[in-house]
Amino acid sequence: MFPPEGKTGVVKLLAVLVVLLGWTSGCRAAGLADFLDQIPLDQVFPGAERLGPPEGSPAAAPALKGDQVLGWVFLNSDWVNAAGYSGKPIQVAVGMDKDGRIVGAKLLKHAEPIVLVGIPQKKIEDFIAGYIGRNVLETVNPASAKGPDIVSGATVTVMVIGDTMVRSGILVARAKGIGGQAPPAQAERRQVDFGRQGTASWDELVGDGSIRRLHLTVGDVNRAFAERGDPRAAQRPEPGEDNDDFLDLYLAEVTTPVIGRSLLGEREYQALMSRLGGRPAVLVMGQGRYSFRGSGYVRGGIFDRFELVQDASTIRFRDKNYERLGDVAAQGAPQFSEIGLFAVPEGTELDPAQPFVLQLLVQRPVGALEKVFITFDLTYRLPEKWLKPAAPAPKAQAVSPVAAAPAGGEALWLRIWQAKAVEIGILVAALAVLTLIFFFQDVLVKRPRLTAAIRWTFLAFTLVWVGWYADAQLSVVNILALSSALVTGFSWDYFLMDPLLFILWSAVAAALLFWGRGAFCGWLCPFGALQEFVSLVAKRLKVPQITVPWGLHERLWPIKYVIFLGLFGFALYSLATAEHLAEIEPFKTAIILKFVRHWPFVLFAVALLAAGLFIERFFCRYLCPLGAALAIPARLRMFEWLKRYAECGKPCQRCANECPVQCIHPDGRINPNECIYCLHCQTLYWDEHRCPVMIQRRLKRERRAAMSAPPPAGARPAEPPHGGT
């Protein structure tokens, strides 16, 4: 049991967390009403005398001259997803007259780093001014609409601004009935038929439109830049023959059963469905001299060369929404230089049963720091044979979108659990074995060789099966997502979508009360297992091991707690930012993506493993935010399973010297916050040839046995001393 002061510290920490969660629950994104006193009416709606009170939800405020309504003023982020490169909304006040024409606009708030530290704000304001006079009702397809020239160096930022100004204007026009606009009819809505079975070849999928193609030649691109009207771009044509390939791009929606199973394979398709939580996903395949991933991927941030557009919604992808694939499973599929699987981000919507557009951005340098951009569109529409009439929406009860079954049957999470019954059984069996190991550890540790064999076997299972096969690596991101869900609206359905992660987290939560964080960190963490195998190889190769001086070690291990608290603080401010910063965990690179990732991430993960060659479990000791997060509630554990002698630390230091993570204080106490429960100290505790206490007990026992043993048969009695009788 922990001491009273430990309880007090835990209570204080929980109180702080409750206050923080309560504070964030009261926070909300600023809307039009919050900006009314900041909107310069002469810039946003020239000619209007005042703004009336905001109406509707989302809100739009009437622009008034006397009692006459001239049009409407609205905030783009109230109507559409306006998140920029920073992950926070770029908020622009837009004025639109009763004919659907944008009459003014003003950038009110943003957190775009490139604008804050690099691009002059005036360039962004000039870009916004380029939309004044544009009629949103004349935009048949917003994805194809041409706006002002994109500002070099701030591609994503200005794309978000331009798109959201137009799309929010369309939605306001529909809401206010401008130009005869009205919300789209729902009578003919369709949905994906998830009951379809089977697979198809590449040629069959291309032939029926399940895979769509955008083929651009060098000539196509050069002509497009020439027609753009910028002579600088026309004077710098793409080198090569006109019929040379520039980009051969293919697009498919892969949550549709036959398409997904054909392109990904059965196992990958099932794994994808278990991760998505009811969200759609698309497969983008390309080859040619132009990369569809673009420079945003290089930075580990947003993909800035393409986006998906459906109706008035724009979907942009970040690194966490992306998985790189090596090949396509469909029979007869060609080889591609780039294959990306993109899951629609949480909080955005894409209806795969309705047409959508992939908008490709192609750039051309026209100066040392300046580029010109053009766009190409690839329209995607699922073939009718993969669809069925949409079920009518329930009237009396709202259902979580991930809870609803896609085929109108059982809940989706339950279908996923049924599909993963074998994997669930294996994981539950492994957890049962680990529980038996811990409960009967006193029997096991008396056999050091058996203990070592069982531990290395279990670590191999954790690394290969739990990590590389099942992708069940827990992460601090899961904790941040849970805290966000508690604030924004908790639903079990979202956490049940991945059964292996759910079971693991449940097991770890229970283990915290019995054994602390060591049950996970020492046995169930795939990256921790990888570190131990790396250390084992290093020791076998006689790589010199560094023992960190205790005083320095005590000052280094709190770093991981600082990292966790920093991530938690960022999560309260922006979950997307916190998830991006959580890349300090190399788990995604080393375990989930198996080192198939861009080189900066791979280099970082390899550097941490290289440090582990000299300092065992270097990352676990000093940097792991997940270990820190688990150590905090582990202070509530109810039992002390690790045995110690009074002589431990005074004077014996053997356990402390041999502890692989230096969690034993010089006075013999075990720090449960740092212990990985490897049981090495317990094998020493019972070892009659290595533990000084047990050695003394063995020697005493042997002396008593020798003194009490009868002399061997036939032995002569001892001669009396000289001169005795």
Q: Residue 412's Cα: distance from chain center in Å?
A: 21
Q: What is the pLDDT of residue 297?
A: 52
User: Does the bond joining 651 to the residue before it have cis omega, within 30 degrees of 0?
Assistant: yes
Contacts of 574 (CB under 8 A, 6+ apart): 86, 87, 88
Sign of CA dihedral 29, 31, 33, 35: positive
Q: Residue 319's Cα: distance from chain center in Å?
A: 8
Helix runs in 574-653, H state only: 575-581, 587, 599-611, 618-622, 625-634
**Assigned token pair, 19:** 């206050």
CA-based nearest residue to 151, from 117, 111, 114: 114
Cβ-contact 520, 456 below 8 angstroms: no
Q: What is the pLDDT of residue 429?
A: 95
Sign of CA dihedral 392, 394, 395, 399: negative
Strand partners of residue 109: 91
Helix (H, G, I), strand (E, B) or coil at 702: helix
Whole-angstrom Cα distance, residue 114 to residue 361? Answer: 19
Q: How far is CA 545 from CA 188, 489, 534, 660, in A?
A: 69, 49, 12, 11
**Assigned token pair, 15:** 């109180």
The residue assigned the tokens 């032995």 is 715
At 87-110, the pLDDT tens digits run: 567 889 999 998 889 999 998 887
**Assigned token pair, 495:** 């956490």
Cβ-contact 698, 466 below 8 angstroms: no
Q: How far is CA 29 from CA 52, 74, 109, 124, 163, in A?
A: 21, 15, 12, 22, 20
Q: What is the pLDDT of residue 273?
A: 87
CA-based nearest residue to 307, from 352, 256, 342: 342
DSSP summary character for residue 590: I
Q: If you average pLDDT over every residue of the chain, what do you get?
A: 80
DSSP summary character for residue 135: B
CA-based nearest residue to 294, from 128, 85, 115: 85
Q: What is the pLDDT of residue 118?
A: 44
At 190-249, the pLDDT tens digits run: 888 888 889 999 999 999 999 999 999 999 999 888 886 567 878 888 898 989 999 999
- DSSP for 26-55, written as a single string: T-----HHHHGGG--HHHHSTT--EE---B
Cβ-contact 631, 673 below 8 angstroms: yes
Q: Residue 698's Cα: distance from chain center in Å?
A: 54
Q: What is the pLDDT of residue 94?
A: 92
Measured in degrees and rounded to the nearest 5, phi and psi for residue 507 equal -65, -40
Cβ-contact 618, 627 below 8 angstroms: no
Whole-angstrom Cα distance, residue 236 to residue 5? Answer: 71
Cβ-contact 299, 599 below 8 angstroms: no
Whole-angstrom Cα distance, residue 201 to residue 35? Answer: 55
Q: Residue 481's Cα: distance from chain center in Å?
A: 9
Cβ-contact 683, 691 below 8 angstroms: no
Q: Residue 432's Cα: distance from chain center in Å?
A: 29
Q: Report the length, in residues, of the chain.
A: 725
Helix (H, G, I), strand (E, B) or coil at 270: helix
**Assigned token pair, 610:** 């290289």
Report long-range pairs for 146-152 (Cβ below 8 Å, ≥24 apart).
146/375, 149/230, 149/372, 149/373, 150/361, 150/371, 150/372, 150/373, 151/119, 151/123, 151/124, 151/127, 152/369, 152/370, 152/371
Cβ-contact 552, 670 below 8 angstroms: no
Whole-angstrom Cα distance, residue 92 to residue 75? Answer: 6
Average pLDDT per run of 10 along the chain, which is 725 residues long? 41 41 44 84 90 86 89 87 69 90 88 52 81 78 46 59 83 81 57 89 93 93 80 84 92 94 91 84 93 63 81 77 87 91 84 90 74 84 88 46 40 67 92 93 90 94 91 83 62 66 89 87 93 94 92 91 90 72 87 81 93 93 91 79 85 88 87 88 87 86 81 62 50
List the beta strands (DSSP E) in 129-244: 190-192, 211-217
Sign of CA dihedral 165, 168, 172, 173: positive
